[in-house]
Structure 1
Amino acid sequence: MNIIEDLSWRGAINQQTDAEGLAALTQEQAIRVYCGFDPTGDSLHIGHLIPFMLLRRFQLAGHTPVVLIGGGTGSIGDPSGRTSERSLQTAEQVKQNTQALMEQTRRIFPSNDSHLPEVVFVDNNEWLSEYSLLDFLRDVGKNFNINQMLAKDVVASRLETGISFTEFSYQILQSVDFHHLYKTHGIQLQIGGSDQWGNITSGLDFIRKKEGPEAKAYGLTIPLMLKADGTKFGKSAGGAVWLDPKKTTPYEFYQFWINQDDRDVIKYLKFFTFLSQEDIQALEESVANEPHKRLAQRTLAEEVTRFVHGEAGLESALRITESLFKGDIKALTADEIESGMKNMPHVVSEKGTFDLVPWLVDLAIEPSRRQAREDIKNGALSINGERITDVDAQISEQLAIEERFIVIRRGKKRYFLVSFA
């Protein structure tokens, strides 16, 4: 199956500048395709996985992906999707974020697949910073019509509230990127979110003005991802889901995917995994006939976690999930406990040896000594996975796993993480 046909089946195409031409080109030869990411922060989030997956699919089909980190455009700010001016970052912050995203994307696209085209990484500050103001206005600005720029959706939507010349010029800078990569890296296709359509078509116009109307360059955008309830994909109860394991641990990342709604899971399997049509259709039948098994969600969580965090990250996520489900807390390291219980109640105890019942009340784990004794006698309280039935038991930091944490479970689902001052 042609790469464009596969993307169409997966629902991964929103707009194309020349659908027939691109399908024919990718059928005839290997091409180079790029997507840009501005360093607005020191980590990308799962919304960026959508274009990453497309780049990877092109790579698996024998084409060369090019990842552009916008060290130059990041100092300006893309107005797309915004209703007000972006706060400018310092040059040093942009540089630090650019380095962080370069490292992050290199981890996601490792260079150990010798049978596949190697991913190319570029920073647009390398060429954008070379322009003088007069050269830019003369050699680049002369090719852009203000009336056409004003008609672009991203600009038109800002005219009432106002847009600075800085953000207004963003589409010109992205057009320079496309032309530069077309000339120096043989890029023929730019992909991006649906909000990038105006920027991409501006780049194509610029290429044809500079290189002639027969220049073979194309644009493709990806649909806006919405959940079944109509809300935007990519958020969890705790906020953004990051690709940086220090911001969102592999366990939290895995949990985000395994908790997806039955109504969304097949769409996400098409978008975010490299499973075949046959495998996805089998999982679709499982959702319809055996939804309680959540096989589709488990498969989705495993596939995406492996892609972003590697085999080691997936193994850690599975180990934490299994241990917390079984209550086998001692099978976990202190770091894994911290990761798995990051969003659970965390209390701090003084060091020393304490009678268990008043200690539980003092830390607000139990509401009263009477309730504490009742829970202990009924076997409803466990410490580090072991049920406690002795109301006269004592507790100290000596019980802490790796001298860091004690995990208290009250009832079936209420966990408390205890550390010591």
Structure 2
Amino acid sequence: MQHNDLIEELRWRGLIHQITDEPGLQKLLASGPQTVYIGFDPTATSLHVGSLMQLMMLRRFQLAGHRPIALVGGATGMIGDPTGKSEERNLLSAEQLQQNVAGIESQMRKFLSFEGENAAILLNNFDWMKGFSYLEFLRDVGKNFPVGTMLGKESVRARLGSEAGLSYTEFSYMLLQAYDFVYLAKQQGCLIQAGGSDQWGNITAGIDLSRRMLGKQVFGLTAPLLTTGDGKKMGKTERGAVWLDRQQTSPYAFYQYWINVSDEDVMRCIAYLTEIDRQEYDSLADATQSDPGRRAAQKRLAEWMTVFVHGDDGIRSALAASKILFGGEIEDVDDAGLNEIFADVPSQELPRDLLAGEGLWVVEALQQAGLAKSGGEARRSIKEGGVYLNNERLTDMDRRLGESDLASETVMVLRKGKRNYALLRFKTDG
């Protein structure tokens, strides 16, 4: 992709919400490689699905020949951005903040290239903010920032009018973020800041401060927020956020999130988050329109995203887990894997010594699992061929279950019918 094709690429993908001076930015991008930055709040040890919008924005700039700066807000994170928040965040400890910054930095290295002419740079704004005394900051930076500018921002007005109000600490956040743009323009020649549409007030504040302190024109670009058709933020489930860290959200759960995206949202997700080209995009859009039952777009989105975030081994494990849930063979899966696959399935814990000696009668096992209300019902289900142990059909109603029938270290998977699963967990006392 050429430098001057980037805006066109972003536009067809629906990734341009606002630009401060589009003709000026077009001219700047056409003049040669530029430096662009996006800030990331270190509020957790992992980035989440919502962060992918901004990571992909930096990646698109890099693929077009520009140099991306991923800025981790070690200083601003100590305060917390009040934008879009109804009340003040709890302040993070220095230790927690350091852990979060380290976790986020390691993840970013997976998505951006840190080699070559336009190698990405990871920076932490704490590195330049820690040297300021309070008086120095007020004298050198604060005097260039009109209070009227801050009060005019929608995010500030909304909080000032709310019951929670706005503390002086949070009020200062905009000034700190604005100074980041000044610092990066001066030290790194960075003339472009991008971010989500909720960051427009902070970005334009940085543009104004750069003009006052440096006499330079810098540019701002925002993308829409990643939301569902009804306006809710994407990347949330009943069990919480969808994280990029596989320890917090497994490849299987990550894959399932994307394959379950609605027809209304799927093409927007493909445009926003993937590098699937226009031709394939149009083909998937046609398939979704003509044969939505195939879910071709959802399958492609889930596959692309899982490979991108978790690699080839991630997609293999996700597909193997999906196959198990739909009746495939259960093999080479540990307790943690089965717990993830069957997270929403009812389970019962039984003493492990039930598997010793003669073992546990399968009819009793079905009753213990809640798949049969009586011994008679259990026997009928087995006779009719509707009972499965670890996804293999059971035909012998006199069968006794032992340790060799466990699917993993402690778990046995029982199923009645096509989708009625239950787990039995066999734990050793003590």
TM-score (norm 1): 0.94
Map 1:7-86 onto structure 2 (within 5 A).
7-86=10-89
* 2:334 pairs with 1:328: no
Map 1:254-403 onto structure 2 (within 5 A).
254-330=255-331, 332-352=333-353, 353-403=359-409
8 Å CA contact 1:250–1:314 kept in 2: the answer is yes
CA distance in 1, matches of 2:242, 2:52: 11
The 3-state SS of whatever aligns with 1:329 is: coil
Q: Which amino acid aligns with 2:234?
A: F
CA distance in 2, matches of 1:64, 1:343: 44
CA distance in 1, matches of 2:329, 2:117: 42
CA distance in 1, matches of 2:284, 2:15: 19
Map 1:98-109 onto structure 2 (within 5 A).
98-109=101-112
* 2:410 pairs with 1:404: yes
8 Å CA contact 1:356–1:393 kept in 2: the answer is yes
The answer for the alignment partner of 1:187 in structure 2 is: 190
Report the more deviating stretch, 397-406 or 43-52: 397-406
Deviation at 1:239, TM superposition (A): 2.6
How many residue pairs get aligned? The number is 417
Q: Which amino acid aligns with 2:133?
A: S
Map 1:79-118 onto structure 2 (within 5 A).
79-109=82-112, 111=114, 117-118=118-119
* 2:422 pairs with 1:416: yes
- Residues 176 and 229 (structure 1), Cα distance of their counterparts in 2 relative to 1, 3 Å cut: closer
The 3-state SS of whatever aligns with 1:376 is: helix
Deviation at 1:334, TM superposition (A): 4.6
The answer for the alignment partner of 2:356 in structure 1 is: none
8 Å CA contact 1:323–1:332 kept in 2: the answer is no
Deviation at 1:224, TM superposition (A): 2.7
CA distance in 2, matches of 1:287, 1:181: 44
Deviation at 1:323, TM superposition (A): 3.4
Q: Which amino acid aligns with 2:62?
A: Q
The 3-state SS of whatever aligns with 2:43 is: coil
CA distance in 2, matches of 1:362, 1:340: 21
Q: Which amino acid aligns with 2:246?
A: P
The answer for the alignment partner of 2:220 in structure 1 is: 219
CA distance in 2, matches of 1:137, 1:252: 48
Map 1:167-206 onto structure 2 (within 5 A).
167-206=170-209
Deviation at 1:72, TM superposition (A): 0.8
CA distance in 2, matches of 1:106, 1:344: 36
Report the more deviating stretch, 70-79 or 375-384: 375-384
8 Å CA contact 2:192–2:220 kept in 1: the answer is yes
String of CA shifts for 1:268-290, please: whole Å, max 9, x gaps: 11111101111100111111122
The answer for the alignment partner of 2:138 in structure 1 is: 137
Report the more deviating stretch, 338-347 or 84-93: 338-347
- Residues 98 and 331 (structure 1), Cα distance of their counterparts in 2 relative to 1, 3 Å cut: closer
TM-score (norm 2): 0.92
Deviation at 1:25, TM superposition (A): 1.4
CA distance in 2, matches of 1:367, 1:107: 51
CA distance in 1, matches of 2:227, 2:101: 28
RMSD: 1.8
- Residues 359 and 401 (structure 1), Cα distance of their counterparts in 2 relative to 1, 3 Å cut: closer
CA distance in 2, matches of 1:347, 1:127: 55
- Residues 323 and 198 (structure 1), Cα distance of their counterparts in 2 relative to 1, 3 Å cut: same
The 3-state SS of whatever aligns with 1:330 is: coil
Deviation at 1:402, TM superposition (A): 4.0
8 Å CA contact 1:76–1:88 kept in 2: the answer is yes
The 3-state SS of whatever aligns with 2:401 is: strand
8 Å CA contact 1:323–1:331 kept in 2: the answer is no
Q: Which amino acid aligns with 2:195?
A: G
CA distance in 2, matches of 1:131, 1:189: 24
Deviation at 1:110, TM superposition (A): 5.4
Q: Which amino acid aligns with 2:147?
A: I
8 Å CA contact 2:369–2:423 kept in 1: the answer is no
CA distance in 2, matches of 1:18, 1:141: 26
The answer for the alignment partner of 1:236 in structure 2 is: 237
Q: Which amino acid aligns with 2:63?
A: L
CA distance in 2, matches of 1:234, 1:258: 13
Q: How high is the sequence identity, in percent, across the aligned residues?
A: 43
The answer for the alignment partner of 1:207 in structure 2 is: 210
String of CA shifts for 1:305-343, please: whole Å, max 9, x gaps: 111112221221122223332421136455433332233
String of CA shifts for 1:204-245, please: whole Å, max 9, x gaps: 111111111xx2411111113332234332222333211111
Deviation at 1:144, TM superposition (A): 0.8
Q: Which amino acid aligns with 2:109?
A: R
Of the three residues 168, 178, 198, the one matched with 1:165 is 168
8 Å CA contact 1:12–1:223 kept in 2: the answer is yes
CA distance in 1, matches of 2:347, 2:32: 57
Q: Which amino acid aligns with 1:362?
A: Q
